[in-house]
Structures are given as structure tokens and as C-alpha cells.
Chain A
Amino acid sequence: MSPLGPLLLATLLFCVGIYGVIARRNAVLVLMSVELMLNAVNINLVAFSNLLFPEDAAVSGQIFALFIIGVAAAEVGVGLAIVFNMFRNRASVNVDDVDLMRW
């Protein structure tokens, strides 16, 4: 299998994630975009660990992916707590409303 496919898919997912973070107003959707980016990394790690380094007995790339999954869950948990707290105070999850401090 050519490594081009996973690489393209991961790049696409990553770019969609970045676009989502920049363009989306809804904080929950921003969080989901961040998740997309992290999963793009996971695809890279798992696919290339399998395709390029099959002789690596420790499957280090795939182990890394496991850690990313675990940490991503914690990150979304914290992120949602922050968004939820903001929602309780101003009944909005729009990230553009967050503009008290500017220079």
C-alpha cells in the first residue's frame, strides 16, 4: 500500500481542522475541529508505523497514538468545562463574544 493515501487523508483532515478553528464561531465546533487535527496526527502515526517501519517491534508510533487519544479526551473535557462555564455566565458559546481585552 502506498503511503500517499494516508498522508493525503491526514493532511486533508488537519487542514479541515485548522479551517474549522479559524472559521467557526461556535466554541463547541472549535473543539471538534481541534479533535480533527489530533486525529489527523493519529492517522499519520498509525499508518506510517505500519507502512514504513514494520520491523519496529515496539510499534512506537502506534503507542504514541494511544497516548494522543487519551490526552485528547482529557483536553476536550477541560475545554468543554471552560465553554460550559462561559455559557452559564453569558448564555452564549460564540467565541466572537469573548472580546473584553484588546490592546
Chain B
Amino acid sequence: MAEETKEMNPEIVGFACSFCTFKASEMAGSLRLKYPEGVKLIQVPCSSRVDPAFVIKAIFEGADGVFVAGCHPGDCHFIKGNYYTRRKIVALKEMFDAFSMKDKLRLFWVSAAEARRFIDKVTTFYNDIKEKKNEREKA
């Protein structure tokens, strides 16, 4: 038993806009599509509600990765919320880049109809984080 290396399962926190990405995740559920159990979604009224402080807090409280997801630019329920998100998250990514942890944060645009795209994006992110985490564990 001791010889076998245990696979690390990462925890991912996702901030999902309640009008697009959260709807997409619900649709994925009704289509019986699966996404990794380690992904925890937090519903926010708009992706611009996400203060970068939330992201930093999530990472330092133990999340291995964080994603922020909202409507496509121009489709925001509140007209222009996701344009602000884009600026904020791009700046936050640049800051994470300065601290050599850019791979921990991603930004997606997923509309309410794109259940498969949501599954695809989330699973790719989860697998990338898992790969990196297991590599680090071995080293």
C-alpha cells in the first residue's frame, strides 16, 4: 500500500455569472454531462461582482485554481459588466504572472446555451491543474 503514490485531486473554485455560466452548468446537469467533482461553483449576480480579492482569498485558503466565467462581451445582462471583468481579470493575471503563478487563474466566456463548451473548458482546466499538481508532488 505504501508503494502506491496517491493521486492528488485538486480543488477548483469557479465564479459563475448567474445569467450565463451558471445557467450553462445547470443545463449541463439536465443533459447528464459530467464535470470533475473538484470544481466548486459560486454563483455571482454578474462576473464583475468578482472582486480580485475573492480570487486571491480563494487561492490562499487552499484552492488549486480559480476561474471566473461570464457572458460573452456584449451579452451582459447588465449591459457592460463583463467589460469591467475583462479589465480586472487581465490585470490580476498580469499580477499573478509577476509572482509566477499565472496558471492558477483563468477567465472564460460561456453563454447559457453552451453547456458542452462549459464542460470542455472546466475539464481542461481541471486536468491541467491536476497534472501540474501531481508533477510537483513527485518532485
Bound pair: A and B? no
| A interface with B by C-beta (< 8 Å) | none
B: residues with CB less than 8 A from A are: none
